[in-house]
Amino acid sequence: MIREWGETALKSGERVRMSCVEGPDVRWAPRIERMLGHKGGKWNWQNAEVLRRETGLQARFAILRRGARPFANVMIAEAAGVGLLGHVWTDEADRRQGASSILLSAAMADFRQRGGQALILGTDFDTPPYYLYERFGFKGIEPKSGYMTWHAETPEAFESRFFAEGKADIEPLDWPHWPVSAPLFTGDFGGGVRCAPAGLFGRISSEGPLLSLLRDRAANEGGEPLSAAKNGEAAFALVQRETRAVVAFAASGPHPLWPDAALVDVYAHPAWWSHAPALLRKVFQGAKRPLAAYSDADCPAKAGALAAAGFAREGRLAKWLAIDAAKTRWADIDVWTRRK
């Protein structure tokens, strides 16, 4: 579906159409895919998925266009009031005309009007895009990090409400978890090893890593949950029933070093670590290979969860992982195993 947002003027004075394409929209899909085709790989796959089929995710592409040809874009993919802002693009011939600022202003106003509470994005630190996003109220999550967040209220008020204790369900990873997992992994909740099988270390957005897991799911058994994969891959989210927040996440996959072992991990909001052992067991149930996991001294709750799930500590790697973007804090890494 396309919603018209009227006309707007570029810095040159030219007036162009501003619209919002809400996926799925098979008519506009090829036009937007062509404009964003430079993204490549999993990002092109993601655009095709949300533009061509119903995913359970709200994906909105704010575009500037001349007739049927879009030349600038801002995407917000969202669920439960939390959005991933990305694919900010202007065709080369139309740059320096204020297109990105026009679309950011319109897309964020629309997000706020619909009750949106938080946006997360990733860019390079100390670059023109970083400072552009700062002008729109985004803030870096820590010194020298390119990951940025925007909140309709204070971050503390959002986190208190979003991660509130209550009833929760374990669900196989799916599209609606994609945006609502980002507040967990970008949050200042301790821990450097956050999801080793997905490559999540330190405070970074889960946008890219979880997208890779979603694509793996689609490639496996025609889109069956990762838990059905024959190579030991699995991914589950613990979802708060009322807010739909991902309050804990666990995944497993082949170990990148040891062909006869699997790598597993779990991460949780501080209020939800008591649920981590059950979530871990869900991930490795039926596993026939030895399991390896890692924790760090910055997150003692994970060590407790691994021990409760039957893992034994095997050794320690001293000062092995930088747990901040500025690389000023280094953590010891503990190695854990669980055998059949």
Last residue of a domain, one of 113, 136, 152: 113
Candidates 68, 66, 69, 86; CA nearest to 77 is 86
State the average pLDDT for the chain: 95
* Res 222 pLDDT > 60: no
- Per-residue pLDDT, 204: 98
pLDDT of residue 232: 66
pLDDT category of residue 217 using cuts at 50, 70 and 90: confident
Is the same domain home to 323 and 176? yes
- What is the model's pLDDT at position 227? 46
How far is 267 from 313, CA to CA, in rounded Å? 17
Q: Contacts by 208-216 with C-beta closer than 8 Å and gap 24+?
A: 208/42, 208/122, 210/173, 210/177, 210/178, 210/181, 210/235, 211/42, 211/43, 211/46, 211/178, 212/42, 213/173, 213/251, 214/46, 214/173, 214/174, 214/175, 214/178, 215/42, 215/45, 215/46
> Sign (positive/negative) of CA torsion 254, 257, 261, 265?
negative
Please check whether residue 50 lies inside any domain of the structure. yes
pLDDT of residue 226: 47
The reported pLDDT for the residue numbered 297 is 87
Residue 210 lies in a domain: yes
103 and 170 in a common domain: no
Same domain membership, residue 312 and residue 206: yes
What is the per-residue pLDDT for 233?
86
pLDDT at residue 281 greater than cutoff 50: yes
Same domain, yes or no: 89 and 189: no
Q: Are residues 109 and 164 in the same domain?
A: no
- Chosen domain end from 78, 113, 148: 113
CA distances, 36 to each of 23, 32, 41, 62 (Å): 15, 6, 11, 13
Strand partners, 89: 73
Structure tokens at 246: 């991902």
Instruction: Report pLDDT digits (tens) over 299-313.
Output: 999 999 999 999 999
CB within 8 Å of 155: residues ≥ 6 apart: 149
**Residue in the block written with tokens 């655009």:** 47
Q: Which tokens in the block code for residue 90?
A: 């202007």
Are 232 and 289 in contact by the 8 Å Cβ rule? The answer is yes
- Banded pLDDT at 234 (limits 50, 70, 90): very high
pLDDT, tens digit, 9 for 90 and up, residues 32-74: 999 999 999 999 999 999 999 999 999 999 999 999 999 999 9
Q: What is the pLDDT of residues 164-189, one digit of tens each?
A: 999 999 999 999 999 999 999 999 99
| Parent domain of 58 | 2-113
Q: How far apart are CA 139 and CA 149, in angstroms?
A: 5
221 has pLDDT over 60: no
Question: What average pLDDT score do residues 333-337 get?
Answer: 97
Q: What are the residues facing 70 on neighbouring strands?
A: 65
The proportion of the chain whose per-residue pLDDT surpasses 70, expressed as a percent, equals 96
Residue 230 has pLDDT above 70, yes or no: no
For the cut 70, the answer to whether the pLDDT of residue 109 exceeds it is yes
Residues 192 and 255 in one domain: yes
Same domain? For 173 and 52 the reply is no
Q: Does the pLDDT at position 85 exceed 80?
A: yes
CATH of the domain at 16: 3.40.630.30
pTM of the model: 0.95
Q: In the chain, how many domains are there?
A: 2
- Supply the pLDDT for residue 229: 45
Please tell me the distance from the alpha carbon of residue 28 to that of residue 33, in angstroms, as a whole number: 9
Res. 225: pLDDT tops 60: no
Backbone phi, psi, residue 138, to 5°? -75, 150
